[in-house]
């Protein structure tokens, strides 16, 4: 975990967030809701190589790895937090299911490049992906947030994030938000019968199934923001000589 920062907040009550591989904005929305609730003014830019008409904030259509080469470090360092959710299908156990259902699976594995670059940038960052991705960090579960999805995800960061506590027994049988709608899974699972059921399970109500099944619940990044805020406040106190 990198502890080298060239960053400091530009304004005590303004937070600028960059969301890489933003998809339809599940991660962005979680940060936005938590920051607003905490009294911050928040500006978010999402980047994805495929246009996302449902993305709820400022959107930039671009290839992330190409931006690493073309944009100067000064551009990246204007942000207070960089979140990245690289393609997960190449790591996920659901890849075989997706192929069996006749859908295309992305084989892109970007985590090593993303991690290396964000460490060089030196601002607070979060990289999110599935459990099989090899990320080292906190594990979050939908059952911890009263959601109807299990959806374990790893959040690797250069500031401390604690894992959430799973509540699988309390949750009961989770709703599957992957593959195709209303599909019985050989292992005993079942995907959402309708788009509305999937949206409710995820806490996302603004996008269709294709983007929903690739998203992370906003509750996850709202939780992460609590740790980012604590880190940010502590860093400011140290720089003012208060700790």
Domain boundaries along the sequence of the chain? 14-239
Structural domain 14-239, CATH architecture: 3-Layer(aba) Sandwich (3.40)
Segment 31-55, tens digit of pLDDT: 999 999 999 999 999 999 999 999 9
105, pLDDT greater than 80: no
Residue 28 has what DSSP assignment? H
CA distances from 95 to 109, 194, 242 (A): 13, 21, 50
- The two three-digit tokens of residue 200, written as one number: 């409710």
Global confidence as pTM: 0.90
135, pLDDT greater than 60: yes
Segment 157-199, tens digit of pLDDT: 999 999 999 999 999 999 999 999 999 877 667 899 999 999 9
d(CA 196, CA 204): 9
Q: In the chain, what is the greatest distance between 2 CA atoms, to the nearest angstrom?
A: 59
99, pLDDT greater than 90: no
4, pLDDT greater than 90: no
Closest CA to 105 of 202, 178, 32: 178
């Amino acid at each position: 975990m990198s502890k080298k920062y060239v960053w400091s907040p530009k304004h005590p009550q303004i937070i600028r967030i960059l969301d890489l591989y933003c998809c339809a904005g599940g991660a962005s929305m979680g940060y936005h809701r938590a920051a607003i609730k905490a009294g911050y003014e928040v500006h978010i830019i999402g980047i994805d190589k495929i246009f996302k008409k449902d993305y709820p904030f400022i959107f930039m259509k671009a290839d992330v790895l190409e931006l690493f080469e073309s944009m100067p470090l000064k551009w990246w360092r204007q942000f207070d937090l960089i979140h990245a959710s690289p393609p997960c299908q190449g790591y996920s156990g659901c890849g075989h299911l997706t192929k069996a259902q006749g859908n295309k699976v992305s084989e892109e594995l970007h985590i090593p490049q993303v991690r290396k670059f964000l460490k060089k940038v030196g601002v607070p960052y979060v990289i999110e992906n599935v459990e099989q991705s090899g990320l080292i960090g906190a594990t979050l579960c939908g059952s911890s947030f009263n959601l109807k999805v299990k959806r374990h995800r790893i959040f690797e960061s250069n500031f401390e994030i604690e894992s959430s506590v799973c509540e699988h027994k309390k949750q009961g049988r989770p709703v599957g938000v992957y593959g195709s709608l209303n599909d019985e899974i050989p292992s005993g699972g079942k995907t959402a019968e309708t788009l509305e059921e999937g949206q409710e399970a995820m806490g996302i109500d603004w996008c269709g199934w294709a983007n929903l099944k690739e998203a992370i619940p906003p509750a996850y990044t709202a939780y992460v923001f609590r740790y980012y805020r604590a880190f940010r406040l502590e860093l400011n106190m140290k720089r003012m000589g208060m700790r």
